[in-house]
Amino acid sequence: MKARVSDHEKHRRREKRRKRRRDIRKLIFATICAFIVMLFATGMTLTTLLMRQKFGRVDYPPAKYTYSYRYSHYKDKYPREKVSFKSGKNTLHGYIYGNGNNDKGVIIFAHGIGAGHENYMTMLVKFVDRGWKVFAYDATASCTSEGRRTKGLAQSAIDLDKALDFAESDSRLKDLPHFVMGHSWGGFAAAAVLNFDHDVKACVTLSGYCDPMTELIEASEVMLGGEQAKYMSPFIWIYNKIEFGKYSSLSAVDGINKAGIPVLVVHGTNDKTVRYDGAAIINQQDRITNPNVEYLTMDKKRRKGHNSYLYSAKTIKYIRKKLDPEFNLLLKQYNGNIPDRALIAFYKSVDKELANGINTELLKQVNEFFEAQLDAG
């Protein structure tokens, strides 16, 4: 006969089964938690690597590898004075042009990412010719300034804030009316810095984005594709927050509205870096309440991109019809690995005067916009 199981034994077995089920649930929960932690760690690691690659240090290329005019081309006619100021732990180097121009005002200029202020020399000297002092600097981890990384999209506004602090305390600059202008990374900075308490008379923002996160998501969609960018966006948000804290959500729109000063917003309709119908400041007109804002849409053929409208029509045609095809031919000829001698020969053959023509119509509009604020005040 089968032995009868006692009530005590039944209870013991039930408790054993319950414990087994609890242990399984704990194991499943621990496994899920470990998976989430691993997923988060992987996402943050990939995001950090991606951001640090994108926002690394930038230096001017050797002159033999570029056809852009830099300061060396202008130094005899346009002497400058080098100055320094701090942005965080890094020392940034700035340059005052037009030191003899004391009857107008000073334009504080912020450059785009992946560049330095000398990449805009052709434009900057034209303002000196029109009687302005120009204070231009190289941002964090850019060209002549200190820093291992440019850090991210909010850094340009932080650097411009420190540049304005310097201008407000420097004997050569403090008594002149202050104007801000910037392109791309600097275009965001020129508007976003208006969130800070500076006495700025007017602002010109060229190809600027409305805020770092909107532009980061837009750029990640281009780099990774829309679906992957959607999954990466929480990690990008966290990275941006960790990197910049309270400055991570700096908004160009908020700055424009808070300051209430005259602002000229310029953007190209075919901008593939900061989309005209996306992250661009010019796309935020329904949120901009400042009545002193003017909008300038650049839509001329071949001059409606991120940088192209800064140049003359002849320059764009020369680059598109001659320089780009010749360079692409070299890439094809050498399977993407152009030897040094061929590269130097290519840049040496360029008609640099033609390759550096500026958009004088735009320059005239910006100059008149700034001068109108002098007349008003």
In sequence order, the β-bridge partners of residue 82 are 95
Question: Measured on CA atoms in the order 249, 252, 255, 257, is the torsion positive or negative?
Answer: negative
What is the distance between the alpha carbons of residues 304 and 207, in angstroms, rounded to a whole number?
A: 10
pLDDT in tens, 87-130: 999 999 999 999 999 889 999 999 999 999 999 999 999 999 99
Please name which of 185, 188, 92, 193 lies closest in space to residue 135, comparing C-alpha atoms: 92
pTM: 0.90
| Residue numbers of the chain with a pLDDT score lower than 70 | 1-8, 10-11, 36, 40, 42, 223-229, 377
Q: What is the pLDDT of residue 223?
A: 67
On whether the CB atoms of residues 221 and 215 are closer than 8 A, the answer is no
CB atoms within 10 A of CB 118: 22
Chain center to CA of 202: 20
Q: Which helix (H) or strand (E) holds 267?
A: strand 263-268
What is the distance between the alpha carbons of residues 241 and 176, in angstroms, rounded to a whole number?
A: 36
Q: What is the pLDDT of residue 4?
A: 58
CB atoms within 10 A of CB 243: 19
Residue extents of the structural domains in the chain: 19-53+212-249, 81-145+154-210+250-307
Q: What is the pLDDT of residue 1?
A: 47
Please report, to the nearest 10 degrees, the dihedral formed by the alpha carbons of residues 370, 253, 135, 100 taken in order: 20
On whether the CB atoms of residues 124 and 138 are closer than 8 A, the answer is no
Measured CA angle at 367 (ends 364, 95), to 5 deg: 120
Q: What is the pLDDT of residue 26?
A: 78
Q: Does domain 81-145+154-210+250-307 have CATH number 3.40.50.1820?
A: yes
The SS3 assignment for 304 reads: coil
Total residues found in the chain within this entry = 377
In sequence order, the β-bridge partners of residue 268 are 298
On whether the CB atoms of residues 184 and 273 are closer than 8 A, the answer is yes
pLDDT in tens, 189-213: 999 999 999 999 999 999 999 999 9
Place of tokens 């194991």: 27
